[in-house]
């Protein structure tokens, strides 16, 4: 048996040691100086001005969409059909209307022509997901959105270190979201980050993270002005926005700081693994037309070339037999339009009309790609796939 799990060793003994030594000396455990240090280190790594560390990637999505509604009003948000559930749920719960577009087979992100043709006077933003480590942006899309005054929001939860030309994914839009869940490129066990160059949005996210509290905003002039405007309120308890408690802890930040040290090295190893994997695929059976420039995949994508349910059934049976862990439908389980909550809220959509998303849904899956995976195992996996 091949025995390949989805993820291995993403919290190392060294991370645990680091955590223990922190616990032995620390006197503050919730959101504090270590969180700030991790945010600053992350901003430097990514190349943005500000980052806000939260307790999950989904929280980053929910806060981002709430912040957009607060600052720019509710409206239409153009979303992918291949993405994670919180990218849709966050749009809905912030009071926006999701407008779905099909996937582009080359990167599984949004089909550019459909994004542009979906823009209306009510469009507030495009919420693009960089799927499973592929860059989902083009210069044309970035330029067109800028020209039309549409905000670009990048979900990079699955694609830390992916490159759009010379820029890291997560630095071309108004704001971006990351996840540090155990299965991703690096982990704080649970965790997420919201990144932006916009000072006002940054302060908004700081407040949203902690119940909407004014005192979380580090703009002193703004705090003074609000306190003067509301003399009847206790300055420690002024709530500016209908916020959440989505804070993380110092413990998670300590792990994040330690993990960040090896992120670039791990991305390199995963890139090399992915190259070996793609080289070994039989392009008559599997889709190999991915745009791999600047990719940073934590998973191997297995996508059938043809719509062949029997072949797909054989494929999953063989992977199960060989104890190769996999997830069907790729990111988020496939076409989001097929999910019960979407069908109920937006019955007007016909999931099958989103042909690429549906192909990925029914004939796609991913297996694990982690730094310690050796070349022989990857080659044994591709041999197995060739022989099905």
Site string for ligand PLP, 154-193 (x = CB under 6 A): -x-xx--------------------x-x----------x-
Tell me how far, at minimum, the Cβ of 236 lies from ligand PLP, in Å: 30
User: Using an 8 Å Cβ cutoff, are 179 and 192 in contact?
Assistant: yes
> Number of residues in contact with ligand PLP, rule: CB under 6 A?
16
Which segment (57-65, 165-173, 244-252, 371-379) binds ligand PLP by CB under 6 A? 57-65
Q: Is 168 helix (H, G, I), strand (E, B) or coil?
A: strand
Closest CA to 207 of 190, 188, 189, 222: 222
Please report whether residue 87 would count as binding ligand PLP according to CB under 6 A.
Answer: yes
Shorter beta-carbon distance to ligand PLP: residue 214 or 246: 246
The rounded distance, in Å, linking the Cα atoms of 385 and 315 is 8
Give bridge partners of residue 176 from the DSSP assignment: 154, 195
Residue choice 64, 86, 107, 369 for contact with ligand PLP (CB under 6 A):
86
Q: Is 136 helix (H, G, I), strand (E, B) or coil?
A: coil
Residue choice 57, 133, 161, 334 for contact with ligand PLP (CB under 6 A):
57
Cβ-in-10-Å burial (0-12, 13-18, 19+) of 67 comes to buried
**CB within 8 A of 279, min separation 6: which ones?**
382
The rounded distance, in Å, linking the Cα atoms of 250 and 272 is 33
The rounded distance, in Å, linking the Cα atoms of 315 and 304 is 10
Residue choice 10, 61, 252, 367 for contact with ligand PLP (CB under 6 A):
61
Please report whether residue 371 would count as binding ligand PLP according to CB under 6 A.
Answer: no
Tell me how far, at minimum, the Cβ of 182 lies from ligand PLP, in Å: 9
Shorter beta-carbon distance to ligand PLP: residue 238 or 337: 337
β-pairing, 167-168 with 151-155? unpaired
Please report whether residue 43 would count as binding ligand PLP according to CB under 6 A.
Answer: no
Which segment (8-16, 80-88, 115-123, 372-380) binds ligand PLP by CB under 6 A? 80-88
Of residues 104-143, which lie at the interface with ligand PLP (CB under 6 A)? Answer: 129
Cβ-in-10-Å burial (0-12, 13-18, 19+) of 7 comes to middle
β-pairing, 123-129 with 97-101? unpaired
User: Using an 8 Å Cβ cutoff, are 80 and 103 in contact?
Assistant: yes
Which long-range contacts does 111-117 make (Cβ < 8 Å, 24+ apart)?
111/356, 112/138, 112/140, 112/141, 115/78, 115/141, 116/141, 116/144
Shorter beta-carbon distance to ligand PLP: residue 76 or 158: 158
Tell me how far, at minimum, the Cβ of 59 lies from ligand PLP, in Å: 7
Tell me how far, at minimum, the Cβ of 90 lies from ligand PLP, in Å: 9
Residue closest to ligand PLP (Cβ):
57
Site string for ligand PLP, 295-334 (x = CB under 6 A): ------------------------------------x---
- Footprint of ligand PLP on this chain (CB under 6 A)? 56-58, 61, 83-84, 86-87, 129, 155, 157-158, 179, 181, 192, 331
């Amino acid at each position: 048996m091949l025995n390949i799990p989805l993820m291995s060793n993403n919290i190392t003994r060294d991370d645990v040691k680091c955590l223990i030594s922190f616990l032995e000396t620390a006197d503050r455990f919730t959101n504090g100086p270590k969180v700030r240090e991790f945010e600053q280190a992350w901003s430097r790594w990514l190349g943005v001005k500000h980052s806000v560390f939260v307790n999950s990637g989904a929280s980053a999505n929910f806060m981002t969409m709430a912040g957009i509604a607060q600052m720019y009003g509710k409206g239409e948000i153009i979303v992918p059909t291949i993405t994670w559930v919180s990218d849709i749920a966050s749009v809905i719960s912030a009071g926006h209307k999701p407008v779905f577009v099909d996937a582009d087979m080359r990167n599984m992100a949004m089909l550019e022509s459909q994004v542009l043709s979906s823009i209306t006077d009510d469009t507030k933003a495009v919420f693009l997901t960089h799927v499973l480590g592929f860059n989902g942006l083009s210069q044309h899309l970035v330029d067109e959105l800028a020209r039309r005054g549409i905000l670009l929001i990048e979900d990079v939860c699955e694609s830390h270190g992916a490159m759009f030309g010379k820029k890291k994914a997560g630095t071309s839009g108004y704001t971006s979201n990351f996840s540090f869940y155990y299965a991703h490129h690096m982990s704080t066990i649970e965790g997420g980050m919201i990144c932006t160059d916009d000072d006002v949005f940054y302060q908004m996210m700081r407040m949203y993270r902690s119940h909407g509290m004014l005192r979380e905003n580090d703009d002193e002039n703004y705090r003074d002005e609000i306190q003067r405007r509301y003399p009847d309120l206790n300055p420690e308890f002024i709530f500016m926005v209908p916020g959440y408690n989505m804070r993380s802890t110092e413990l998670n930040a300590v792990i994040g700081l330690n993990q960040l040290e090896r992120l670039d090295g791990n991305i390199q190893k995963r890139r090399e693994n992915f190259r070996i994997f793609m080289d070994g695929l039989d392009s008559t059976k599997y889709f190999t037309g991915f745009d791999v420039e600047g990719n940073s995949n934590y998973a191997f994508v297995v996508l059938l070339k043809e719509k062949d349910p029997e072949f797909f059934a054989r494929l999953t049976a063989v992977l199960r037999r060989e104890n190769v862990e996999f997830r069907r439908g790729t990111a988020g389980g496939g076409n989001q339009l097929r999910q019960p909550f979407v069908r109920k809220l937006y019955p007007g959509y016909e999931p099958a009309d989103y042909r690429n998303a549906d192909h990925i849904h029914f004939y796609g899956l991913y297996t694990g790609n982690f730094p310690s995976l050796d070349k022989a195992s990857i080659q044994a996996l591709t041999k197995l796939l060739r022989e099905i």
